[in-house]
């Protein structure tokens, strides 16, 4: 497995460090899916779980939208794959393709990056619609790092089950 990720800086501002760790985790998800076709991406972990790499990419597109666009721009923007805020809907991958999943994910990541870049500070507050409470951009970025970290652990196991590839 080729590792083209750029590691986070050992020294840097809070914002640079958060941005770098988030992008590192985003790149990790891409790396775990590299070289796999639609069928391999749809392969589930084990019954009754619907967890698959394709489902994880779709799920993370939903998470990016929910935590950046819906918090800081448009509370009512529809989710990518569900009419409701249903993060589990992303795991329904029947007929879904790698190309569509990554196109949606990449679009949401670009929205998220733009929102973060344009924010004057990490103290930018937005309304988290599900909680009905304000949250800071700092909190959202930390939450996203944790979300990717957890799901990249799943991606490690899924990839190993598909073709035996392990590492980083």
What's the CATH number where 110 sits? 1.20.120.450
**Do the domain assignments include residue 11?**
no
Q: How far is CA 117 from CA 23, 96, 120, 147, in A?
A: 13, 31, 8, 20
Q: Please, which residues bridge with residue 102 across strands?
A: none
Tell whether 4 is covered by a domain.
no
Q: Is residue 58 part of a domain?
A: yes
Quick one: pLDDT at residue 111? 97
Token pair listed for 124: 């930018």
Q: Do residues 80 and 108 lie in contact, with contact meaning Cβ atoms separated by under 8 Å?
A: yes
Asked, for residue 113, whether it belongs to a domain, the answer is yes
Residue 8 in domain: no
Least confident of 53-57, 77-81, 152-156: 77-81
How far is residue 118's CA from residue 129's CA, in Å, rounded to a whole number?
A: 21
Is position 2 within any domain?
A: no
Structural domain boundaries, residue 147: 20-163
Mean pLDDT of 106-118: 98
Summarize pLDDT for 57-79 with one digit per residue, the tens. Answer: 999 999 999 999 999 999 889 98
Greatest distance between any 2 Cα atoms in the chain: 46
| Position 2 confidence tier, pLDDT thresholds 50, 70, 90 | confident
Give the model's pLDDT for residue 85. 72
118-152 pLDDT per residue, tens: 999 999 999 998 888 999 999 999 999 999 999 99
> For 9-42, how does the pLDDT look when each residue is reduced to its tens digit (9 = 90+)?
899 999 999 999 999 999 999 999 999 999 999 9
For the chain, the domain total comes to 1
The answer to the question of residue 37 being in a domain is yes
Lowest average pLDDT, out of 1-5, 50-54, 62-66, 100-104, goes to 1-5
């Amino acid at each position: 497995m080729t590792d083209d990720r750029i590691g986070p800086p050992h020294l840097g501002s809070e914002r640079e460090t958060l941005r770098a760790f988030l992008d590192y985790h985003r790149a990790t998800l891409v790396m775990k899916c590299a070289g796999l076709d639609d069928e391999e991406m749809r392969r589930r972990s084990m019954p009754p779980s619907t967890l698959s790499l394709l489902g994880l990419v779709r799920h993370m597109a939903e998470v990016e939208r929910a935590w950046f666009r819906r918090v800081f721009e448009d509370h009512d923007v529809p989710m990518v794959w569900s009419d409701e805020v249903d993060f589990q809907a992303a795991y329904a991958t029947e007929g879904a393709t790698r190309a569509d999943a990554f196109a949606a994910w990449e679009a949401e990541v670009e929205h998220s990056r733009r929102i973060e870049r344009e924010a004057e500070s990490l103290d930018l507050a937005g309304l988290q619609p599900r909680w009905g409470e304000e949250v800071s951009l700092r909190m959202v970025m930390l939450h996203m790092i944790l979300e990717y970290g957890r799901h990249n652990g799943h991606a490690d196991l899924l990839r190993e089950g598909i073709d035996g590839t392990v590492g980083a």
